[in-house]
Amino acid sequence: MAAGLPALMLLLLTGLTAVNAVSTKAACLDTAREAALAASRGEPGVTAGSRSAPSGAEVTIVVEGGRVRATVRAPVRVLGGRLPAVSVVGVAVAVAEPGLPEPQP
């Protein structure tokens, strides 16, 4: 029983970290989608993405021809704060809207 409690705590912390990583990944994907769509319409994509990005996230927009790729990278703390953070990434691609201004990063 005494050896089982630390193992149970470790399993609990690992599970909570996994749930946090999955929810941060979902937030990154949503933010990347918003940023790519905004940039494809000619609006500043980084500004649009930064509004809903998870804390500590980095939003990057790349315009390649008629496509806009938005990448959102955010750190997730592992098992409290003693270990280094894991980085999760969300990527979305959108086609530039015809008849609108050039896509903006």
What total number of domains does the chain contain?
1
What residues make up the domain containing 41?
Answer: 4-95
Residue 74 within a domain: yes
Residue 76 within a domain: yes
Q: How does pLDDT run across 19-59, given as a tens digit for each residue?
A: 999 999 999 999 999 999 999 988 898 999 999 999 999 99
Residue 105 within a domain: no
The tokens describing 83, both together, are 């270990």
Q: What is the pLDDT, as a whole number, of residue 101?
A: 66
Residue 101 within a domain: no
Q: What is the pLDDT, as a whole number, of residue 77?
A: 85
| pTM for the full predicted model | 0.85
Residue 104 within a domain: no
Residue 103 within a domain: no
Burial 74-96 (b: 16+ CB within 10 A, else e): bbbbbeeeeeeeeebebebebeb
Q: How does pLDDT run across 59-98, given as a tens digit for each residue?
A: 999 998 889 999 999 999 887 677 788 999 999 999 988 8
Query: Using an 8 Å Cβ cutoff, are 38 and 66 in contact?
Result: no
Computed over its alpha carbons, how large is the radius of gyration of the chain? Answer: 18
Query: Using an 8 Å Cβ cutoff, are 38 and 50 in contact?
Result: no
Residue 28 within a domain: yes
